[in-house]
Every structure is written in C-alpha cells, then in structure tokens.
Amino acid sequence: MTDFHGKKVLILGGSRGIGAALVRRFAQDGADVTFTYAGSKDAAEELARETGSKTMKSDAADRTAVIESVKASSPLDILIVSAGTLALGNPLEIEADAIDKMIDVNVRAPYHASVEAARSMPEGGRIIIIGSVNGDRMPFAGGAAYALTKSAVQGMARGLARDFGDRDITVNVIQPGPTSTDMNPEDGPMSEFMHGFMAIKRHGRPEEIAGLAAYLAGPEAGFITGAMHTIDGGFGA
C-alpha cells in the first residue's frame, strides 16, 4: 500500500480491465479518484459505488472531450491514461477507420490529456500512460498499427519528461504484456500462443499492473521519468 490521501487522481478509461484495477488500487490507498468511461456505463457506475470514486462519460477518441475531462478534474496530482483499443488484422484488409480510431484513443488522447493536466499540475505530479510491450516487440503478424500506437507513447513520454522535469513532474509508460481483461482474456483462443513467447507462462493480473502504477505514482519514484516500465512475464525478454 502507498498512502495517497490528499492526492487527486484522474484515470482515463477506468470502467473495465486494467483501468478498473487502477481505480480500486488508488481508491483503497486513499486517493480522491475520478475515472472516465465511454461505453460501459453500468460497470462504471457500479465501480464508482464500490470504490467511492467519481465517474464521467468521456470518449477518448474525442480531443475536446479528453481536454474537458482533464480540465474538470484539475488540478491533478496524478494522471493515468489506460483507455485503449486493439485493432488487429491484415493491414491490407483492416478497416482504415478502425486504425484511425485506435490512433485517436491510444496516441492522441494520452498526448492531449498529459499536456492539459500539466498546465495546472503541482510540483511533483505524476503522469503515467499504459502502453504495451508491443511498443518494443511485435512478434506476430497483424499488429503493426497497434504496435505503432504503443511505440508512439514511448517518444511522447521521453519528450514530455523533459518538458515538465523542471517542475519535478514525472512522465512514465507502463508496458504490460498479456494481461487478463476483456481485451485479452486468459481463457481466450490466443493464450497458448502468447504464453509461448513468455518466461512466466500465464497472463498478468490487472492488479499487478496497478501495483506498478502505485509505485510510480508514489513518493519513492520521484527520480524515475521518461522511462518505459515493462511488466510482461518475460514476453519481451
């Protein structure tokens, strides 16, 4: 446990999966948590009730909505962007609109949210983006555009770390490997294939990702910035 009492946290994409684990962890550790959702209203309201957090509908594919949701919760001590989509498939066949939407959610939203949060973030603030080990390694066909989005946030974090470092604001990327969520369920058809790439042959648990986020958001991590933190059971090793 890290003591986040008195800290204001916004989690973009908190209704399910890794985002929901982040909501639970930061709420348990005493933070004042707000999270966004797009489609999962019931799950979001249930989670808000369970954790005593606040929720708001905000589509991460809509730049104005992203900026407004950050403004409405600012000043923030901690921003975490977990909202993400995954469009896999043959690049010659996959819908161009699905690719562009993925770029909007996975790249443009973290950028605009981070910049907006930094406008009013106090010294020592924390910005954490949930990337993916696929930003480093794409060991199968059909993932070029997803990997593109996860590599893009690496460059963004390196640059923004320098932009905001003089205010002791840190900017980091967490890079999960296969993690059991609706996006990638451990009992799904791809599991055995993915475990073949891994040293620890199981999916990660969303709580394990949230634990790393709590560390990076906590007081011991003030010297860690512009860095990628892979938590993947050895998928990228």
Interface residue list for ligand NDP (CB under 6 A): 13-19, 36-40, 59-61, 82-86, 105, 130, 132, 176, 178-179, 181-184
**In angstroms, what is the minimal distance from the CB of 155 to ligand NDP?**
16
Q: Which residues, including other chains, have CB under 8 Å from residue 49's CB and lie 6 or more apart?
A: none
Q: Quick check: 2 and 214 in contact, CB under 8 A?
A: yes
**In angstroms, what is the minimal distance from the CB of 84 to ligand NDP?**
2
CA-to-CA distance for 57 and 38, rounded, in angstroms? 6
Q: Which is nearer to ligand NDP, 13 or 125 (CB)?
A: 13
Phi-psi region of 136 (alpha: psi -120 to 50; beta: other; left: phi over 0): alpha
Query: Given the structure tokens 């010297």, which residue do they identify?
Result: 223
Tokens of 168: 């002791």
* Catalytic residue positions, numbered: 146
Q: Which is nearer to ligand NDP, 151 or 168 (CB)?
A: 151
Q: Which is nearer to ligand NDP, 100 or 168 (CB)?
A: 100
**In angstroms, what is the minimal distance from the CB of 220 to ligand NDP?**
24
CA-to-CA distance for 188 and 215, rounded, in angstroms? 30
